[in-house]
Amino acid sequence: MDYANVRSLEEAARAVLDPVHYDYFAGGAQDEITVAANEAAFARIGLVPRILRGAARPRLGTTVLGAEMSMPVMLSPTAFHKLAHPEAERATARAAAAAGVTMISAMLSTVAIEDIAAEARKAAPGGAEPSLWFQLYVQPDLGFTEAIVRRAEAAGCRALVVTVDSPALGRHERNDRNDFHDLPPGMRCENLRELPGEGLRDLGGRDSGHVRQVVLSPEISWDHIAWLRQISDLPIVLKGVLHPRDARLAVENGVDALLVSNHGGRQLDTTPATIDRLPIIAEAVQGQVPLLLDGGVRRGTDVIKALALGATATAIGRPAVWGLAAAGEAGVARVLDLLRNELDNALTLCGCASPQDVTAELLTTMEGPHQ
Ligand code: FNR
């Protein structure tokens, strides 16, 4: 498999995907200004290497919320993997677990969380416990929400990643043009179907598993985060924090980590690039909780820039989908391999021995003059 970089996997994915499904994966809200901004902002940041540091080959591993990661790159949650490949989230989970990469499994997955966890366990090297987190859209129906949380806990998920940038669905004009609004026949959101086990709630009966069952509600508030804290001992990560006041509120409300994200430009268009928001969020939280970042991460150098600006780790959304569509499990594995090799190379070239060694002294802007 000769893919030189993530971009070439996107091209391969585009060649095999139904154009309607390619648009669903690639697209964003309205004019897609934020989609473009996420990648463009990384390109505007320059790296200035340090020399002669005798750093030796870098170690890439890191730990976030107790989860050991083989590198500071995670899989952000993306819905509907079956649109990309018949093996769907099963393949993604195996590739992530085999690579020692944390997968944040989407609530709207097309494979049930129990099956995703089972695949991850099979693939984790040496029988190690794979690192699987669960992404949640809190539903106004708390019974429904609690049933899904219990299911994620029972499956072995180690953190709840609560998506908070979605009080409504962003306006995806590509999907409107393509009249793409629900999964094709034969595909379901398996986590929304009847729950196994005694005493758990039936989430909707025989005809369940439809995307339209999910409510993206503007009624969700900090009270729901407090409620979640009460019902579950899992660490809570808020996904979609962009405002420093919200970052402070999150810390005050006992949230365990923040994922700085604009949903890959799929929610509010014209939100700035996440990498441009990271410094102000880091300033607001003062190291009290770990910061994660997604949006436009395509290269090892992007990872270094995020680390230098205060992230403990980064996450990728679309690149994993491109790998999955292009070549199933092997394609996702290739994406992770590429990012690992690029990160190793870039750390070495910067004179850094580890991700923890990366500081803001490496950064400048691409446009001169420099100080
Ligand atoms: C997403 N994302 C997302 N986020 C979430 O919290 N729940 C979800 O169900 C989904 N679904 C989803 C589907 C697709 C096709 C994409 C591309 C994205 C957002 C995702 O977690 C992440 O924030 C972005 O994808 C990160 O940006 P990049 O890496 O795609 O640029």
Alpha carbon of 8 to ligand 1 centroid (Å): 20
Task: Identify whether the C-beta of residue 34 lies closer than 8 Å to the C-beta of residue 270.
Answer: yes
Share of the chain residues as helix, strand and coil, in percent rounded to the nearest 5: 45, 10, 45
Q: What is the pLDDT of residue 213?
A: 81
For the stretch 23-50, pLDDT in tens is 999 999 999 999 999 999 999 999 999 9
DSSP conformation class of 19: H
To 5 degrees, how large is the angle CA 367–CA 301–CA 284?
80
Widest pairwise Cα distance in the chain: 67
Checking if the pLDDT of 91 tops 60, the result is yes
Confirm whether residue 290 is marked as ligand binding.
no
User: Whole-prediction pTM value?
Assistant: 0.97
Cβ 77 under 6 angstroms from ligand 1:
yes
> What burial class does residue 355 get, using C-beta atoms within 10 Å of its C-beta: 0-12 exposed, 13-18 middle, 19+ buried?
buried
Q: Please name the residue whose Cα sits nearest to atom 24 of ligand 1.
A: 264
When the pLDDT of each residue in the chain is averaged and rounded to a whole number, the result is: 95
ipTM: 1.00
Name the nearest CA neighbour of 337 among 25, 69, 95, 62.
Answer: 95
Is 295 among the annotated ligand-binding positions? yes
Angle, vertex CA 70, rays to CA 66 and CA 73, nearest 5? 90
Q: Six-digit token pair at 306?
A: 């995020």
Instruction: Enumerate the domain spans of the chain.
Output: 6-365
Q: Is 261 annotated as a binding residue?
A: yes
pLDDT exceeds cutoff 50 at 64 = yes
Q: What is the pLDDT of residue 200?
A: 43
263 labelled as ligand-binding? yes
Query: Looking at the domain that runs over 6-365, which CATH code has it been given?
Result: 3.20.20.70
Q: What is the pLDDT of residues 331-366, one digit of tens each?
A: 999 999 999 999 999 999 999 999 999 999 999 999
> Can you point out the beta strands (E) in the chain?
45-47, 62-64, 67-69, 73-75, 103-105, 132-136, 160-163, 236-239, 257-260, 291-294, 313-316, 363-365
197 labeled binding residue: no
Name the residue with the closest Cα to ligand 1, atom 2: 78
Q: Does 100 sit in the ligand 1 pocket, CB within 6 Å?
A: no
- 334 Cβ closer than 6 Å to some ligand 1 atom: no
pLDDT at 45: 98
Beta strands at 45-47 and 363-365: parallel, antiparallel or unpaired: antiparallel
Q: Supply the residue whose CA is at minimum distance from atom 11 of ligand 1.
A: 78
Nearest CA to ligand 1 atom 14: 78
Q: Is the CB of 79 under 6 A from ligand 1?
A: yes
Close Cβ partners of 46 (under 8 Å, ≥ 6 residues apart): 363, 364, 365, 366
Q: What gap in Å lies between CA 219 and CA 221, rounded to an integer?
A: 6
Per DSSP, 195 falls in state P
> Helices 113-123 and 142-155: crossing angle, nearest 10°?
20
How many Å lie between the centroid of ligand 1 and the Cα of residue 264?
6
Going by pLDDT thresholds of 50, 70 and 90, the confidence category of residue 194 is low
Query: Hey, which residues are catalytic here?
Result: 263
Closest to 217 in 3D by CA, of 109, 138, 296 = 138
Structure tokens at 317: 């959304």
CA 355 – ligand 1 centroid, Å: 24
Please indicate whether residue 191, judged by its CB atom, sits closer than 6 Å to ligand 1: no
Task: Give residue 105's Cα distance to chain centre.
Answer: 9
Pairing of the two strands 132-136 and 160-163:
parallel
Does ligand 1 have an atom closer than 6 angstroms to the CB of 316?
yes
Q: How far does the centroid of ligand 1 lie from the alpha carbon of residue 53, in Å? A: 38
- Residue owning the nearest CA to atom 6 of ligand 1: 163
The ligand 1 atom nearest the CA atom of 161: 6
> Quick one: pLDDT at residue 25?
98
Is the shortest distance between the CB of 295 and ligand 1 below 6 Å? yes
Would you say 135 is a known binding-site residue? yes
Rounded-to-10 torsion of CA 78, 284, 367, 60: -60
Cα of 263 to ligand 1 centre, how many Å?
5
